[in-house]
Structure 1
Amino acid sequence: MSSQKKKNFQIEAFKHRVVVDPKYAEKTWKVIEDAIHEIYNHNASGLSFEELYRNAYNMVLHKFGEKLYSGLVSTMTAHLKKIAVSIEVSQGALFLEELDKKWAEHNKALQMIRDILMYMDRTFIPSTHKTPVHELGLILWRDNIIHAIKIQTRLKDTLLELVQRERGGEVINRGLMRNIVKMLMDIGSLVYQENFEKPFLIVSADFYRAESQFFIESCDSGKYLMKAEKRLNEEIERVSHYLDSRSEVKITNVVEKEMIESQMMRLVHMENSGLVNMLVDDKYDDLGRMYNLFRRVLNGLSLVKDVMTSHIRETGKQLVTDPERLKDPVDFVQCLLDEKDKHDKIINLAFNNDKMFQNALNSSFEYFINLNTRSPEFISLFVDDKLRKGLKGVIEEDVEIVLDKVMMLFRFLQEKDVFEKYYKQHLAKRLLSAKSVSEDAERSLILKLKTECGYQFTSKLEGMFTDMKTSDDTMQGFYEAYGHELGDGPMLAVHVLTTGSWPTQTATTCNLPSEILTVCDKFKTYYLGAHSGRRLSWQTNMGYADIKATFGRCQKHELNVSTYQMCILMLFNNLDGLGYREIEQATEIPSADLKRCLQSLACAKGKNVLRKEPMSKDIGEDDVFFFNDKFSSKFYKVKIGTVVAQKESEPEKQETRQKVEEDRKPQIEAAIVRIMKARRVLDHNNIVTEVTKQLQSRFLPNPVVIKKRIESLIEREFLERDKDDRKLYRYLA
């Protein structure tokens, strides 16, 4: 099969020269020109647009496009010059109305002219790079109308005057303004900018500069911010109604600069109404307004944050160093919580929960809480108050809320190990005296502490709960073994505490009554028989007892007292009129504890089961005590608390501090060894930095102490100094 080559056919133009009448172009243009006149004179209804289009088409086809185009320019220009005159002579408010009306008519005429000259627009204009008909109409309007000497300045001044009148509270024709501004934009954004926007921004800056000066002299900070906010919203609204949307950022920048940025220092520090007053008086609306306005300007929020931080730090410093506040630890911590709640609410409601402000608040609290070395102790006492007494009339969830707030304060503590020391003491007292509000609440807080600080922080605390459970099981076994021997004698409940888990207590030498001593010896025999190799020492200072007492007129009561108080009261079964020294000798209770016990038994109103001579609030060594047979109470069970120092005395505080410092030494050494084992060689400054970083979740180690621990490790040959560089240490494997 053979293939044939395809033939390409081409149709060529007819080469016979067409002769055109020399007067054709003039005649045809005259028809189109007359039509343009009619269009501008509003007589377009009688025109045949089909015929006009054909005429324009033929002119372009017969190479008379240039004549058609230049004729269009001159005809439109002539009409626009006439229109300019009619606009110029219009008086007052009619000026803009005439301009708007003529613009609408010009647009309509332009649309018709473009329809007639559509073929020229599509073929001749692109090939000759001339301006399209519609765009040409806009340029001619700009040059002959907008830029006319008698119109340009008048237009600018009229528009600015209307804006000024509106700012003054007058109602203006916004629709007309919108049409005029749109006209300027349609002609070109540069026309809008040069003929209106630039002068508008300059005049606005002058206006707001003067207004801000007037307001700052006559208003307080809150009222000034309201006026600034109102002006800002007015400008945003103005843009939405009749200005170009791109003008919004420019005019708001003007308002922000003149009304906010230039005055923000005075607004923040204004006497009796500035930022500090707003914070103190919880003026959420004013603070929110300040936040929203100041965030618009450079460094505005930083200024607010810095002043707020300075105020909170100063307030907090006064709070934690006020001697009156320090008298009541619970009130001290409650004030801290109230202060935190207050500012949290401000940041939430007024500052949009801004992280920058939250961080500033937290760093401020961390700063001033740690100014008082007793803060860890007081926070533990606050927890003790809530978990020991419970919150009257409230549910478990409310206790949880309080504990969550306490944890927030706990996070700010730099000496978390000091808190742990006190918390362990207070928890021990609650558990041993069965005064805890609930085991769930106690365990909840321990879980929070474990989440915050890790297992090691709470392992001993959890061990205390284990001991309590084990003790219950031990007592059950004891009564099963010895219950028949005890008969009607005193009932005993013993808690066996593991040394190390519980706070270390100085062994006491209190003499227990013989009846109690008998049952105690039986328990000791039982326990050591079940657990060989262990040693028991009685902690009588940590116990309590329920004893039955009969007063005058056979009035019977059950008294809930401490073990020490029980030992004192039992003396009065056989004797009366005992002197302080006799009681001290018979019981061997330490002097400080004895005085507190006697004070609670003889001086507490409504609990005075003893009376003393001479009668006074304090206990003296020459005082004599008697059984108060006139004691009465409307309750059968009477709880007699011990007068306890709510916070540690100065010597006790020093002792606790010493114990904490001792406990820190092995922790610092362990951290040094861990770091050196990993790094092998390290200089002194880097060791201090790394140790601080590792231990800061529990406490901030003192660089001097770190240095001493390094020296100790060198002596024990864990580390050695570099021979050439004394500040460089090496790990000895």
Structure 2
Amino acid sequence: MSSTLPAFTDLNATWTFIQPGLEFILGAQNDQGVTSTMYMNCYTAVYNYCVNKSRRGSTPQSIASNTENNSYSLAGAEIYSKLELYLVQFIKNLKKQPNESFLEFYVRKWTRFTIGAVYMNNVFDYMNRYWVQKERSDGRKDVFDVNTLSLIKWRNEMFQPNHEILINQILELIERQRNHLIVDTNLISTSIKSLVFLSIDIQDLKKPNLIIYVNSFEKPFLDATMAYYLKESSEYLAHHNVVDYMKKCETRIAEEISRSNTFLEDHSKKSFINILNKSMIENHANEMYDQFLILLQQNQIEDIQRMYKLLSRVPKTLDPLANALEEYIKREANSVIEEIQKQSEQEIKDGKKKAIEPKIYINKLISIYNQFNDIVIQAFNKDTKFIRSLDNACRYFVNNNCIALPKPRSPCKTPELLAKYADVFLKSSSKDSDIVDMNSDNLMIIFKFINDKDEFEEAYRRLLARRLTLGTFKSEELEESVIHKLQEENSIEFTTKMTKMFSDMKASEDLKLKVKSKLANEQTVKEFTPMILAQASWPFTLSKSFDLNIPEELQITVNTLKEVYSSQHQGRQLKFLFNHGRAELKANLSKKGKPAFTFSVSSVQFMILLAFNHKATYTIDELHNKVGGEKHVFLAHLSALTKHKLIIEDGENLTIVEEYKSKKLKVNFVSSVKSTSLNKDEEEEENNDIRNEINESRKQFLQASIVRIMKSRKNIAHNSLFNEVQLQSVNFEVKIIDFKKVVDDLIEKEYIRRDGNGYEYIA
């Protein structure tokens, strides 16, 4: 290349001067680079031509004239045209070597060409900044800066005529890499990146564009990926088990993601991941479902977790898995509970126990929950779908099993057994060794799954009432903590009556101190615990069978109690629940020099024994008239005393013994009453009271809910009303037959009336 610059007015001389330099810049001379002198000479020649050619006119005189007027016409079209023709010819003359593939040739030449295009763009910098910009601002969309022009010519002359062979060789190389053969990854990444650079929007050069990349590479690549993994996965599963296949999937997906990060554009990654998921996971989800139950039976947590992670890549495939888990839990739970029932029935038959133990039943429910809850946590990463499946399964087997529903349409026994379970670990008489695995947290696990929470509340409240009145609770703090947890899980209203029961106990203690203070100088009963229980909160009912006569020994105490209470609460009426009363009395019926006996007795037994303070022998009728109450109740409690020979029965005469023979100084006569037929009658009556109270409470709730909904909606269809009532009922499951009865009652009371297939509110 000559070092003497050409005349600035001579286009051909200028092009002849710079062409050898462009050859070196673009690497035509065996990749020999351009020198700095050659580079600067090319730049100067182009600059001189464009600057001086821009002046209007071509003669020295016209140039001088234009200089005076400071008028210019930008030049560059002629040299731009020559550059276009040169680039086309240069690219066409590029030849691949005999021993290289087209892909290798393409990448080698593309790499050198794009480097040169950047330097060449600088050589024509003046033309780019003035003439090219002027032409494009005038609307010429076929004029580009030199670097962009170079890429367009490469696209037209090199890529488009050869794009099929290029893409095929890229895909072949990717497949070889998938087959774990050694490949030059630079060939893949560079060739694909070139497609991004060649995706030029000639209307707006600044606008991101991937049209070449998407149309030429992305679609064939995704199709090839789908075909490859459909074939591989089917062939692999034909000769391997599902667990091995899942491990293979994990490896393959990790490899593909790592590989794709080196050459895929972000635009393709989502579609690419979907292809991997569909070909390897979604298309073989059924095979995984079939293996799932086997893995559950074998407790293969790691493999279940692997299955979950794979299927979670396609969220819709998780639903069948969650459903399978739910059904499996139901079956396993029913199988376990049936085994408990068989064992319990055999023990009852052998006379080892009278009924199924709440502890065994509830602990088994808890163990089933804990077993599968651990699986949900470890294998399913606490996924809400699987938490819901576990909850649904637990709610089913807690309320629907052979122990909970021994007979069709019978009330579920789980709420009652759960209340009795709580009673065991809350009683002071329970041994720590027997209740080591029983606590309020376990209670709450099952509580949240029972449908009829109102039945639990009623049963629990009755047992709580007994613990409080008999003083058999372990600690007040423990009792209140359980109630607090019940309140948190449900509502304040749910525990209102229980909370009031504790308030009554504390108020009764204050009343006791005041009465004792007033009786300090009286010769009467000194040790007593009056319990003033609000009828609305406590589950006790007044029994006419226990209408006892208050003996004279108690008259002063009872009258004082009434007087003190009435002074604090005017207008309230006291009623005595003798059927729930207990007493301890000292009996001087032992040998001389021996301590007195302490008898634990019922209220009826207490009245009977006090009667013998006045004389030693009564006829049965005389004693009954003195004690009071219905005769069958009197005889039932009396039989416990005669059975243990505290009272001697001689025909119609009853005589207290002068010396009672017992190895124990403390004797409990109350427990003997429990074995009588009277107790069974009372238990049946109590169960009927419980059922009636629950039914009445539900009826009131349904009435209030329906009226509230109707008042708001005015008109509503039958099914819609039923569904809304169901949503509002959190403490029991609404049965359609009960719903219809309440609706009929409200229609009769003229709160609502039928309107076609629905109802209308009557204001």
Structure 1 partner of 2:99? 90
Structure 2 partner of 1:10? none
Are 2:540 and 1:504 equivalent residues in the alignment? yes
After TM superposition, give the deviation of residue 440 of structure 1 in Å: 2.6
Are 2:261 and 1:240 equivalent residues in the alignment? yes
Are 2:224 and 1:224 equivalent residues in the alignment? no
5 Å matches for 1:631-646? none
5 Å matches for 1:607-646? none
Structure 2 partner of 1:212? 233
After TM superposition, give the deviation of residue 525 of structure 1 in Å: 3.4
Superposed CA deviations along residues 10-49 of structure 1, whole A, max 9, x for unmatched, are xxxxxxxxxx989932222111122223433115227433
5 Å matches for 1:301-340? 301-315=318-332, 323-324=341-342, 327-340=356-369
Q: 1:628 and 1:391, CA in 2 relative to 1: closer, same or farther beyond 3 A?
A: closer
Superposed CA deviations along residues 427-472 of structure 1, whole A, max 9, x for unmatched, are 1111122222322332333344455655554333233222212322
Are 2:420 and 1:381 equivalent residues in the alignment? yes
Are 2:259 and 1:259 equivalent residues in the alignment? no
Q: Secondary structure at the match of 1:493?
A: coil
Contact 1:464 1:497 in 2 (8 A): yes
CA–CA separation in structure 2 for the residues paired with 1:549 and 1:219? 88
Structure 2 partner of 1:69? 80
Counterpart residue type for residue 526 of structure 1: T
Structure 2 partner of 1:56? 46
Q: 1:245 and 1:663, CA in 2 relative to 1: closer, same or farther beyond 3 A?
A: closer
Contact 1:387 1:441 in 2 (8 A): yes
Structure 1 partner of 2:468? 431
Moved more, 71-80 or 131-140: 71-80
After TM superposition, give the deviation of residue 423 of structure 1 in Å: 1.4
Q: 1:721 and 1:21, CA in 2 relative to 1: closer, same or farther beyond 3 A?
A: closer
5 Å matches for 1:644-723? 653=687, 656-671=690-705, 678=711, 685=718, 689=722, 692=725, 696-709=729-742, 711-712=744-745, 719=751
Superposed CA deviations along residues 579-631 of structure 1, whole A, max 9, x for unmatched, are xx9xx999989699979989xx99xxxxxx99xxxxxxxxxxxxxxx999678
Q: 1:707 and 1:147, CA in 2 relative to 1: closer, same or farther beyond 3 A?
A: closer
Structure 2 partner of 1:527? 561
Counterpart residue type for residue 265 of structure 1: N
Are 2:120 and 1:106 equivalent residues in the alignment? no
Q: 1:209 and 1:100, CA in 2 relative to 1: closer, same or farther beyond 3 A?
A: same
CA–CA separation in structure 2 for the residues paired with 1:340 and 1:542? 41
CA–CA separation in structure 1 for the residues paired with 2:307 and 2:639? 56
CA–CA separation in structure 2 for the residues paired with 1:410 and 1:227? 44
CA–CA separation in structure 1 for the residues paired with 2:248 and 2:600? 68
Structure 2 partner of 1:8? none
5 Å matches for 1:337-486? 337-371=366-400, 372=404, 373-388=412-427, 402-403=439-440, 406-407=443-444, 409-450=446-487, 454=491, 456-482=493-519
Counterpart residue type for residue 528 of structure 1: K
Counterpart residue type for residue 329 of structure 1: P
Are 2:222 and 1:201 equivalent residues in the alignment? yes
CA–CA separation in structure 2 for the residues paired with 1:62 and 1:683? 89
After TM superposition, give the deviation of residue 115 of structure 1 in Å: 2.1
CA–CA separation in structure 1 for the residues paired with 2:388 and 2:93? 69
Q: 1:36 and 1:731, CA in 2 relative to 1: closer, same or farther beyond 3 A?
A: closer
1:187 to 198, 218, 227: 198
Q: Which runs of 5+ in 1 are unaligned?
A: 1-19, 575-580, 603-608, 611-625
Relative contact order (alpha carbons < 8 A, sep ≥ 6): 1 or 2 greater?
A: 1
Counterpart residue type for residue 427 of structure 2: R
Contact 1:680 1:731 in 2 (8 A): no
After TM superposition, give the deviation of residue 289 of structure 1 in Å: 3.6
CA–CA separation in structure 2 for the residues paired with 1:365 and 1:48? 85
CA–CA separation in structure 2 for the residues paired with 1:665 and 1:286? 51
After TM superposition, give the deviation of residue 237 of structure 1 in Å: 0.8
CA–CA separation in structure 2 for the residues paired with 1:239 and 1:491? 87
CA–CA separation in structure 1 for the residues paired with 2:197 and 2:520? 106
CA–CA separation in structure 1 for the residues paired with 2:300 and 2:502? 47
After TM superposition, give the deviation of residue 84 of structure 1 in Å: 2.6
Superposed CA deviations along residues 114-172 of structure 1, whole A, max 9, x for unmatched, are 222222333444525324321232233344544565xx566445433443343334454
Structure 2 partner of 1:44? 34
Structure 2 partner of 1:33? 19
Structure 2 partner of 1:159? 170
Counterpart residue type for residue 53 of structure 1: Y
CA–CA separation in structure 1 for the residues paired with 2:491 and 2:372? 29
Superposed CA deviations along residues 641-686 of structure 1, whole A, max 9, x for unmatched, are 95989x998886555324422444444445556666x469657838
After TM superposition, give the deviation of residue 287 of structure 1 in Å: 4.1
Contact 1:174 1:242 in 2 (8 A): no
1:119 to 126, 133, 157: 126
After TM superposition, give the deviation of residue 506 of structure 1 in Å: 6.3
Contact 1:377 1:419 in 2 (8 A): yes
After TM superposition, give the deviation of residue 694 of structure 1 in Å: 8.3
Contact 1:528 1:534 in 2 (8 A): no
CA–CA separation in structure 1 for the residues paired with 2:220 and 2:174? 12
Counterpart residue type for residue 308 of structure 1: L
Contact 2:277 2:313 in 1 (8 A): yes
Let me know the Cα RMSD of the aligned residues. Answer: 5.2
CA–CA separation in structure 2 for the residues paired with 1:196 and 1:209? 20
Count of residues paired in the alignment: 656
CA–CA separation in structure 2 for the residues paired with 1:90 and 1:597? 114
Counterpart residue type for residue 90 of structure 1: N
- TM-score (norm: length of structure 2): 0.70
CA–CA separation in structure 2 for the residues paired with 1:472 and 1:546? 21
5 Å matches for 1:263-278? 263-270=284-291, 274=292, 276-278=293-295
Task: Give the fraction of aligned pairs with identical amino acids, expressed as a percent.
Answer: 24
Counterpart residue type for residue 529 of structure 2: A
Superposed CA deviations along residues 203-237 of structure 1, whole A, max 9, x for unmatched, are 32122112222343444444433322222221111
Q: Which runs of 5+ in 2 are unaligned?
A: 1-5, 55-74, 200-209, 345-354, 405-411, 567-571, 614-619, 647-658
Q: 1:508 and 1:242, CA in 2 relative to 1: closer, same or farther beyond 3 A?
A: same
CA–CA separation in structure 2 for the residues paired with 1:116 and 1:350? 64
Moved more, 189-198 or 29-38: 189-198
Structure 2 partner of 1:11? none
After TM superposition, give the deviation of residue 261 of structure 1 in Å: 0.9
After TM superposition, give the deviation of residue 409 of structure 1 in Å: 4.1
After TM superposition, give the deviation of residue 566 of structure 1 in Å: 8.5
5 Å matches for 1:275-286? 276-279=293-296, 283-286=300-303
After TM superposition, give the deviation of residue 196 of structure 1 in Å: 4.2
Q: Secondary structure at the match of 2:35?
A: helix
Superposed CA deviations along residues 257-302 of structure 1, whole A, max 9, x for unmatched, are 11111111221232xxx1x445566655444443443233262232
Q: Secondary structure at the match of 1:477?
A: helix
Structure 2 partner of 1:13? none
After TM superposition, give the deviation of residue 101 of structure 1 in Å: 3.9
Contact 2:585 2:599 in 1 (8 A): yes
CA–CA separation in structure 1 for the residues paired with 2:243 and 2:423? 43
Superposed CA deviations along residues 681-719 of structure 1, whole A, max 9, x for unmatched, are 65783895388358613434444444444555666x555
- TM-score (norm: length of structure 1): 0.73
Counterpart residue type for residue 310 of structure 2: L
Q: 1:650 and 1:204, CA in 2 relative to 1: closer, same or farther beyond 3 A?
A: farther
Superposed CA deviations along residues 484-532 of structure 1, whole A, max 9, x for unmatched, are 6668x894334343333222346487899x9x96754553233234446
Q: 1:111 and 1:682, CA in 2 relative to 1: closer, same or farther beyond 3 A?
A: closer
Contact 1:463 1:501 in 2 (8 A): yes
